[in-house]
Amino acid sequence: MPSNELSPEEQYELTYRATKNALWDVLGTAVYLAFLIVAASIGLFTLFFPAVLNLSQNPNRPVLLGAAAVGVLIFGVAGYRIYQLTR
């Protein structure tokens, strides 16, 4: 038997580990993508939109402007990471 061939046990172990790593990569990416979508939604719907709505009614509240800026920042970071992940 040449030295560069794998035994059936070694070939099984190599295939098993490669498949397990590939499955965990796919699962991990799916969970990370779901987390980013939730983070973007929280930034947009929980921080940005309510802050802008209240800012239009009370224009002299800098805290609302800060909350809107934080919402846009969270949405922007999550959107950029989603773009990088799906590219």
**With pLDDT > 90 as the criterion, what percentage of the chain qualifies?**
64
Q: What is the mean pLDDT of the chain?
A: 90
Give the mean model confidence (pLDDT) for residues 48-61: 88
Distance of CA 40 to the CA centre of its chain: 9
What is the rounded average pLDDT of the residues 61-83?
93
Please tell me the pTM assigned to this model.
0.74
- Hey, where are the domains in the chain? 31-86
Rounded percentage of the chain residues whose pLDDT exceeds 70: 97
Q: Which distant-in-sequence residues (6+ apart) come within 8 Å of 72 by Cβ?
A: 43, 48
Q: Measure Cα distances from 15 to 3, 27, 54 in Å.
A: 19, 18, 58
Dihedral sign computed on CA atoms, order 67, 73, 74, 76 = positive
